[in-house]
Structure formats: C-alpha cells, structure tokens
Structure 1
Amino acid sequence: MVARPDQFDAYKFEKAILIFFGFPVGHEWKGLQLVKGIISIIISISLIISMIGNIIEKVDNVPLILETLYFGLTQTTFLCKAYNLIVNKHKVSLLETYLRKPIFNQYTVDQYNFIKKAVRICNMFAKTFRFFVGITIAFYAIFPFIEHTLPLPGWFPFDKRKYSYILYIYHLVCLILNGYNHTSLDCINAAMISIASAQFEILKDNLHNLRRDEDNDLTIDQQDAVVRTRVKNCVLHHNVIIKFVALIEDMYSNVLLIQFLCSIIIMCVTGFQVFVIPPARMHYITLVLYFCCNLTQTAIYSWFGHDILAKSSDIGLACYMTEWNVLSPKARKLISIIMERSKIPIILTAGKFINLSLNTFMMIVRTSYSYLAVLQHMYKT
C-alpha cells in the first residue's frame, strides 16, 4: 500500500499563485498575506468602479458599453469567487483535511494510476486555460501600446492622456491579477472535483477486488472476516467521498451560478463583436481569444461535473460485479448499503438547479448563440 497525498499536486501551482497575490487557500489570512490580499481586492474593485463610471459617462455609445460589459462581468465573477474563497476559507481547510485522511490515501500501486490520471488531467486543463489567458493578456498589453490606447475601457476623474503610461501599467496589473487569480480559482475547484472522481474509481476497483488470490491460504472464517473488513472500508470510503463532494457543492454552487449566467452574456457579447468588427483590425484577435477563454472556463466546469456524475453512477454496477453470491450474508448486507446509496446520483450543481454536465455546457452555448442571433438581427435592422 502507498499513502502519499499526491492529490495536492492537482492544484499545487494554482494555490501558489493565489497565495502570492494574498488570497487564503487553506491557511490563516493574516500578516503580509492579509496586506497583499487587501491590495489585490482594492485594485479589482477600483477597476469595477472605473467601468461603471465609463458606462454612465458613455451611455449613448453602445459598442463601448458592450465592451465594458463583458470586461465588467468577468471582473464581477472574479470578485464573487474571491469573496467566496475568503468567507469560506475554513471550508477550503476542511477540503484539504479530507485529502489528508488515511481513507483517501490508502490505495494499491495499480490504483495509484487513478490519482496520477486525475492530476495529469487537471494539469492539462489548467495549462490550456492559462495558455489562453496568458496569450489574451499579452495581446491586450501589446496592441494598445502600439495604438497608444488603454487596454481596458474605464472612466477616470482626470485627463487620461496626461497619465496614459501610469494607467497603462494599472490596467496591465489588473489584467494579470484578474486573469491568473481567476484561472487559479477555477482550476482549484476543478481539481477538487477531479480528485473526488478518482476516489470513486478507487472505490470501484476495491469493490471489484473484495476477494483476492492471497485469501486462498486462509480458512473460510478468516476469508469471511477479511472480506467483511474490506466491505466495511468500502462503505466508509463511499460515505467520506459523498461528504467531500457535498462540501464542494456547498462551497461553489452559488458562485458557479453567477459564473454560468455571466458566461452566457460574455460569450454572446464577444461573439457579436467578432461578427461586426472587421477581421483586419487588431481588436478582432483579442476578442476571439477572450471568447476562447470564456468558452474554456465554462467547459472545464461542465466536463469535470459530468465526469464525477458518470464515475459515481458506476458504483452500483461495481457492486453487482462483485462475487456477492459467495459472500456471507453480513457482507452482502454491507454491499447492499452501497448499492442503495449509489441509486442517488452524485450531481454537482450551479445554484442548486443547474447540473454541471456536458449537456449544460451545450445549453449555455446554445443560449449564447440565441441571444447573439437577436443582437445580429437588431444590428442589421
């Protein structure tokens, strides 16, 4: 048996980014961390205020309002997730406590591959997401510098041309702060879900292997005692996974609803601008990249949510596939407990009523396209 908390590798880099910018991830928020966190939040809130002022000032400029809208909504979702992390920092600590539990770290060498796969998939999604975000930030930094404009729309109570370089640096800091912290918050959530999926895989494998070759050297009574111990561990493991997933749901459900609603609007608005802006303009490239970032963000949550639904649904089948017919009545009763509980699907939701699944992802894309079609029709007429 191996007992290494390799689950932490699934979000180690993302946790380091958030800690660097002062956000609490499983630790106390005090001292230098508190100072850095307050500075990061003040910078983010100031950008929101600047964008609200810009909408009020340029209320007749529809293209500018649309541009400000998708930036503002992205910033709003980031602040909501940051607030959720700060308010529920004790829940993050509790999630990490689950990851340290012996029941989550006792697996065979073969089962270790499930953890490795979960970590690899998390890192792959995180790197892809960060790549899109990094390229987008780079384009938003380079093109405005060449065109002598500011990267983001905003209102300021002074002459922007006089302080253009200072404001350029301020916007660049906002882009980096928002982009990489927002990415990290999303990837940590996805990592927790992926770890839960891997634990379901381990549980399923344990159910498949209740009787093992080494048991043949034991007496019938000894075999029965060993199998019952293994089944009891499976029941305990199943309950701990369910509690772990319930904690993920409790912490992230509401902010995911905000994320999905904002994603519909953001993809609609950016998609509309992609259609109306000539491809020859530099701004066209940044819009396409921004659209890809939001699409990837929504896809990550939907994919991992669908994955845990599929993995948890296999537990009941795994119980049927055990050699239950040769087990003792007591062992069969314990297996029936797992079977009955597995009839209730493990579903993560956004706001308690939108399931995280690939079907939801397609629904979001279709809804965005529907609103986009309405905007196109209004634009043409």
Structure 2
Amino acid sequence: MHPSVRNDIDQPRNPNYKKDIVYVTRHNKWVLNSIGVWPVVLNGVGQFLPKIAIGLYNLVLFFVVMHCVLHVVFEQKDPVMVLKILGLICFSIISMMKYWALTARKSKIEYCIEQLYADWKQVEFQRDRELMLKYGKIGRKLTMYSAVFMYSGGLSYVTIKQYAIGSYVDEFNRTIKMLVYPTYNALYDVQKSREIMYFLQCMCEYVSDSVTAGACGLAALFVTHVCGQIDIVMSRIDDLIDGKFSEEDSTLKVRLVEIVQHHIRTLKFSAMIETVLQEVCFLEFFGSTFVICLLEYYCIVDWEQNDKIGLTTYSLLLISLTFNMFLLCYIGDLLIEKSTNVGISCCMIDWYRLPAKTVQDLILIIAMSNNPAKISAGRIVDLSLTSFASVLKTSFAYLNFIRKTVT
C-alpha cells in the first residue's frame, strides 16, 4: 500500500465506510475480478489466480483472433463477409490491447482504489458523506448500464447470431456447422471439436465485453469519486467565512489550508486517473470510431437483405458500443465541468468580507481551476460530449466511404 494512503486510513472516521465502499465498488469488483484486474489480497496459491486468469484469457483471445485472421487471408473471398469479419477482428484486437493496458496499469489502479478507500474512511461530516454518496450512486448506475449494454450485445451475438448462421454442405458432401467467429480449417478439423471451439469463442466474447465494461466502469467509479471530492471542496469554500461545517474553534487560516490541501489532493488523484486510463481511452476512442462505422454498414446490408436476426444482433452491438463511448465522453465532460466550478465557487462567496491576503490566496485557487482536470485519449483528444459528436460524424464519413468502395 502506498505510504501516504496508509497513513490516512489508520483511524477511520466514518463508521459506515465498509458499507459505503461496498455500495460504490460492488459492480466494478464483479466485472474486473472476473478478468483478474481488480486488486485482491489472497494468500498462498490464491495470490497467483489473477495472473493465471490474465494469462489464460490472453491465450484464448489470441487463439480465436488468429483463426479469424487466417480465415480472412486464406479462405474468405466475399468482400461483404470480409468486412463483417474485419469488424469482429478489430473489436477483439482492441479489447486485447485494452486488456494489456489495464494489466500494465494494475499497480496504479490499486493505488487509486486505495486512495478511494482512504477518502471514504476519512469522511468526518454527514454532509460530506451525502455528497460522496450522491456521486457514488451515479458511478454505480453508469457501471451497471455499461455492463448491461455490453453483455446483452455480446450475448445476443454468440447465441442469436450463432443460431441464425446454420450450416452448409461442402464440396465433399460434409455438413459444416459454422461458428460466429470464423475458423481456419487448414490447421485442424474444427468440426471434430466444435463444442470446445464454441466454448472458447464464448469465453473470448465474455472477456472482450468485460474489458470494455470494466474500463468504462472504472472510469465512472474514479471520476464520480473525484466529483464528490470537488463538491466537498466547494462546500468548504462556501463555509470559509462562517465555518458552519468545520470545527468550532477553527480559524480562517486553518480552513483555507484544509481547502487547499483537499483541492490539491483531488487534483493529484485526477492526474493519476488520467495516467491510468489514457491508453484505454485512446484505444476506445479511435477503435470505436472504426467499429461503429462497420456496425452501421452491417445494419444497412442486413436491412437490404431482410436479415432480421442479423439486423437485431448488429443493432444491439451498435447501441452497446455507442453507449459506452458516450459514457466515457459524458464522464470526461462531467469532470471538466466540476473542476471548473471550483473557481466559480471562489467568486460567488462574500469574498469582500475576507482579509486581503486570503483573497489573494483564493485567486490562486481560481487560477488552478482554469486548467481543469480531464480524461484524454492518449493525451491527444480530451473526452467530452463534443468529442463524442466527432466520433459519430467520423463514423458516418467512414460509412459513406465504405459504401461507395464496396458497391
């Protein structure tokens, strides 16, 4: 555990901290534990389970993706089918890279979670706990929505789409039962181990969906926690003059020091969040633009071919990916807005009642809020609702290009 965090949580001030922590982290813990990313404290052989899970899931992802790539390169000739498989390959490869990014950042994720635990343990006033719970509920709901959308889209693909694919008779009069993830039959006879291959493909889909839902849930958990901390800072600023929610004998100088320390701590936590999520957001931002474009194309093709099952499946996948991209951009926009509001709070109090030195100190807080905390996609694009609109515009532009090229 990081030393600064350990010192903060030696003596919890919030008697309800265990219940609060479980409430806000439960769904993230379920999703990320299943893929070995959530930090857990296990003894004996159990401490190797997350590493074993990560290694196993990476092997499954690589094995399934390799089959799809070889099938496209050596067997598939239909350009429309090549495009459909290409979207599947892109989504799987992007998910695998996001998995690597989350695994590489696991130590920093652990630090952020410990910091979150420390903040919940050190809540001293009921007003502050209510502010944190307000945003904790938002983060919890966003995580649930992300998981529901991703798992429903993935489940429909490996069940409904698998049922609709059916089978065909090859040139040797053999009945070939197809799979949702195409396979390369030159390596070995997939039909003899079709059930095992289908199980591996379901596992691949589950891991891909869990990585996407887990990354969005982690962003929602951390950012909404930061928003709660910023609201506490703003309540302290409102309380600066009269000290209604501080210790009775606290002085103006002491209250200002507490505000600055809390604000700086929150900004450092925000900077750590951006470091943890920048690779994942980069892959999600640019990868989703291309995959959403392909899914839009699949929906148009299946609409023209009157393929209702295919249209339903791809529509669910399109909604899932679009919603998760929207969720990340909404979270980024919320963080920018909240960070900026700290400076606005400094301007809205009765600052004319403060000593000149204190007013000068408030100007420094305003200056810090002019450079708000952000979540960026690889430090290239700041995630906001404006960038979400750019994703949709770009995907439609790519869609027009693909339709003109293929037809």
Q: Please state whether the residue corresponding to 1:68 is helix, strand or coil.
A: helix
Q: 1:299 to 1:339 in 2, by over 3 A?
A: same
Question: Which residue number corresponds to residue 81 of structure 1?
Answer: 98
Q: Please state whether the residue corresponding to 1:295 is helix, strand or coil.
A: helix
Q: Distance in 2 between matches of 1:80 and 1:7?
A: 29
Match of 2:63 among 30, 37, 46: 46
Question: Which residue number corresponds to residue 35 of structure 2?
Answer: 21
Superposed counterparts of 1:221-370, under 5 Å: 226-277=251-302, 278-370=305-397
Q: Distance in 1 between matches of 2:322 and 2:41?
A: 31
* Residue type of the alignment partner of 2:36: G
Shift of 1:136: 2.1
Conserved? CA contact 2:157–2:180, under 8 Å: yes
Q: 1:279 to 1:245 in 2, by over 3 A?
A: farther
Conserved? CA contact 2:219–2:331, under 8 Å: no
- Kindly provide the CA deviation profile for residues 156-180 of structure 1, in whole angstroms up to 9, marking residues without a partner as x: 4123333322222221222222222
Conserved? CA contact 1:235–1:334, under 8 Å: no
- Kindly provide the CA deviation profile for residues 213-258 of structure 1, in whole angstroms up to 9, marking residues without a partner as x: 759x98xxx6xx5222111111011111111111111122123112
Q: Distance in 2 between matches of 1:379 and 1:68?
A: 15
Q: Distance in 2 between matches of 1:257 and 1:137?
A: 22
Q: Distance in 2 between matches of 1:34 and 1:297?
A: 27
Shift of 1:131: 1.9
Shift of 1:102: 4.9
Q: 1:100 to 1:63 in 2, by over 3 A?
A: same
* Residue type of the alignment partner of 2:179: L
* Residue type of the alignment partner of 1:153: P
* Residue type of the alignment partner of 2:252: V
Q: 1:311 to 1:374 in 2, by over 3 A?
A: same
The size of the alignment, in residue pairs, is 375
Residue 184 (structure 2) pairs with residue 155 (structure 1): yes
Structure 1 stretch displaced more, 28-37 or 125-134: 28-37
Q: Distance in 1 between matches of 2:92 and 2:321?
A: 12
Q: 1:237 to 1:32 in 2, by over 3 A?
A: same
Q: Please state whether the residue corresponding to 2:126 is helix, strand or coil.
A: coil
Query: Where in structure 2 are there 5+ consecutive unaligned residues?
Result: 1-12, 168-177
Question: Which residue number corresponds to residue 126 of structure 1?
Answer: 143
Q: 1:236 to 1:368 in 2, by over 3 A?
A: same
Q: Distance in 2 between matches of 1:214 and 1:168?
A: 63
Q: Distance in 1 between matches of 2:389 and 2:259?
A: 35
Question: Which residue number corresponds to residue 171 of structure 1?
Answer: 201
Root-mean-square deviation (Å): 2.6
- Kindly provide the CA deviation profile for residues 236-294 of structure 1, in whole angstroms up to 9, marking residues without a partner as x: 11111111111111122123112211111101111011111134431111111111111
Conserved? CA contact 2:343–2:365, under 8 Å: yes
- Kindly provide the CA deviation profile for residues 91-112 of structure 1, in whole angstroms up to 9, marking residues without a partner as x: 1122123223459843532333
Shift of 1:351: 1.6
- Kindly provide the CA deviation profile for residues 117-148 of structure 1, in whole angstroms up to 9, marking residues without a partner as x: 22222222222222222322332233313635
Question: Which residue number corresponds to residue 6 of structure 2?
Answer: none
Q: Distance in 2 between matches of 1:335 and 1:213?
A: 16
Q: Distance in 2 between matches of 1:11 and 1:197?
A: 16
Q: Distance in 2 between matches of 1:35 and 1:335?
A: 51
Q: 1:165 to 1:41 in 2, by over 3 A?
A: same
Question: Which residue number corresponds to residue 173 of structure 2?
Answer: none
Query: Where in structure 1 are there 5+ consecutive unaligned residues?
Result: none
Q: Distance in 2 between matches of 1:104 and 1:342?
A: 26
